A and B are shown apart, each in its own frame.
Chain A
């Protein structure tokens, strides 16, 4: 037996050494060997949809915007944000009645090479591809999540949707059915006729949802068309391993597209104009790896295997000094830089106004709002990174009203909350029963967050129960008005503030944007007027009135607005955060010299540590 023990004690370490050798011998070191510029990103959530017409989430938009282009885009460097032509040759010609948009299309733009085209060669982009893309979203059999954004706006499109109901499958639909409001006047002129003014159309035409789709793609791939995004963009999809890995490669036939030659005054100083006038994209491949846990993403970033990273909450203190907003020594030693991206967004605790306890009791809603300590939320949950929402309209959106901050709608005042609670109890006719908060997610962060809110509100004497829910159940309950209170947030995709105000009209009750079931006839009337108005002082005045109405009615406890801190390595050049532009990858350059030097730097730092 002693012999066996000796053998066992010898064999085990030997196996371990063998495994180490296997692992060590197979290490690859291909950075820069092929001379390729490769961008590497981590995604904290998997991309579920890469079909432009059906995209609704940020990750899908970020990915597909590199593959598919739209008629318009945002200027990468200029602030305030400016919309410029992308696939359009110019800005649209808008008729006097604001109902007809005539858009000329750039010539010499080609779809990616793909077997769906004759000889596998991507054909030239035509105005008909835009008509097809819009009709496809309207096709009821395609069941696009984005139909709600087009409904009732384009002449004849609702009728086309009715017409598609007779077909069995999406790809059986005969798209030659004429839609008066969507016309290809010739191969390079696209015309949209509206049933009513739609000032936000130009913003929507910057989104990947309205990107052109070649009919050949749908005819060829049929049911699998949604996983073959074939666009005109600077990159084409090479590999999509769902939930794990996405690889894009440079589109070798990409059109002439040059890095901007002008921007803000500080852009020269910050080095954003060093590549002015050069053909884009700069990188050859883009790799996205889905890493849902923070630790591996963080370690891979420090190892130099990702170029940019969103800072995980638990690593924030070791990465950034929140006062100076500069990287800490550990980061400086590695030449890692910080960028701050203000994200137009609004986070809140929504009240269900149909709820018998909350809906008719404004003092109760107000008491809850005064009981919530937003500063504490920002400190404990976001390392003081986010900003307190003093208004509905984010400072980056048009029509932001800085004066609202002084009116203290978002103040924390526990004694006032208690006072309001007494008033609320009179209205209710007794003590307030425990209120239920529907909370999306049950991971440690979600639990800590919900419990913090619970503790804050309970300090005012209001009992709170938390119902942790998976996302689909949470959304389902929200749409059916089954929550009493719900934690939520929204991110705005254009500088036009109308999307903020579309969260409150009666006609947009959930499942549309109004999950609060807030109904105010006066607000509705103002919204009807504002929604068809182009930006003007008169519209701004309406928005100010509507904003005050909502703030005074307390359909929610508005808490915070997101500010995202990113780290990137020094070789990641030209990165200027833009909250509305997803197609930023083509602007990025990798400094291969600095990238290669990083490995040496790490070795030096390791020696120092020892």
Chain B
């Protein structure tokens, strides 16, 4: 066998194939991005161990992830927060983890997307599992997994075809195969779900330009929100508040500070949230019982007129403005109790 010849030809063909593949996907509008996966989250979670009392941790769901921009927050407050918000999740498990498993006694900002915050305390509930799975990964990750993540970063940052995105925008082999449709043996009612977030190494996330500027694109995301949330059932107010208060009490007892934040929503979501989690019964009740500083976007002129292109999150430009205004309000309010000001 002339294996040397075979090896050289196969290396050349393989490299040509991969270059062509990369060029093709770039020509289709794809660009290198980081996967906002459990490994990236764990790196941020690990930073909590070394934070001081002046630091701020951001928790919540995707609205905190999209709407709070780290640069703008730092510019106003002088401290760069740690982003631990998890899309589509209840913030309660993450807050519980910070309270129970760390000595952190700085400030935790908890994003309250009412349909998620008050969803459930059942560990098998999807919103709970979304958070808990990342926490579990953090504790169980192996050194090999940490090394894999570290090694994958330069590839993710430089190659468009390295992507762990699933669904309609997925371009790894499995996703490309799953996109093939043939006949209608089983009906797939799920509308195509486009990716609409770019994340950096600190999980600072921004809505993609296309999602904020192309109405048709934003409409595809709106269809997905409706598909999932149109039939959303009643929320579990009492149990979720009780769970939160228990952790809050312990956190405050050691000197920790909590800020609650209600991010903007528009259209379908605003109506849905008003209907199944009316402000007076849920948000106001939570603030009343917890006795912590709470910021509802509707209470501030600077915050209430933002538009969400897909009803739920702010565009990158608006997120920067929103963060600046919010941070100023919080700072003026003295809510960052540990913040050392000049």
Partners in one complex: no
